[in-house]
Structure 1
């Protein structure tokens, strides 16, 4: 009999951020390679996809990513705690064209840390809509300073051009894998420090 195949590891990713910043557009671009400009906000949408995850020191590994795309509207704030408890990693998204969404990222971060009780939880700060640089209101330096204060990576993306879309999901999954492999804590934090660098938005 052929050897029994082990099920792929499951990594649970939660998308957070204000309404209209492009969380759903990023998710749908990653899942289906398509840009959806007009998307009806919902309470939450869940997606699952099998991908191959690799790293410098680890063999290629087939994993499943489970993405929960949460609503940014205040109406749903009360139920976010339940979503956050289930998450293993977080993509906190703001729009570089929207100052309020950048300020709101602080509230999302604080809520996640309160629920998880752990400030080393895998977390990326994501500045979306970098294809609209002429409408930029958040300087890259300000966003990088916030990420440095939180000791997390900062990446700018464009759901429209697919710039850095795969990168943020795969980087977060690697952070989750490191945390799972050593039970969380110092090494996961160190990994976040090593990855915190200036990243330009690439247009694919």
Structure 2
């Protein structure tokens, strides 16, 4: 008498609704790993191996200016090209991003490598008020994953480094750098891994170049 068909249907609907909410919540919890942003830098980075067999410390203080970048790189969005479909269209992953802007990540890695190279008397950050003889300026012009096919692609890092006299602002030397690394897998994770390697190669090349032209 108390369990009429209408009451039973109502209870069943409530139970099904509750289960649906629980399944949805569980699905959302299981689908959140992408929220951890990708980083080109190691948590505890070791010094990158240099290409010079012997490096002599020079009595010069170097300051690394804040790394600048093209306007389209002023974002933590993970950007890529599908060269086989539309080479001009810049796309971005919906569920992936970087821990910072490309310029911020490159600046952190470059400063660490310059300081660990033991070439300079000291290496100062761009925010330091210490006196330096040289200033290293880096302009990042490209930082993107290029897919040449559905299952193949390369990570590309490119930019220009300029060594400047800190006293008279005269340019000592300038050099363009381009480094690319093939993706091990055609995915956001594969692109991030390749981008980390390309960034390391870029940092290593800039570090060796600056040491060689001073």
Structure number with greater Rg is: 2
Identify whether the pair has TM-score above 0.5, normalized to the shorter chain. no
Q: Greater helix share, 1 or 2?
A: 1
Q: TM-score, normalised by structure 2?
A: 0.30
Q: Which has the higher strand share?
A: 2
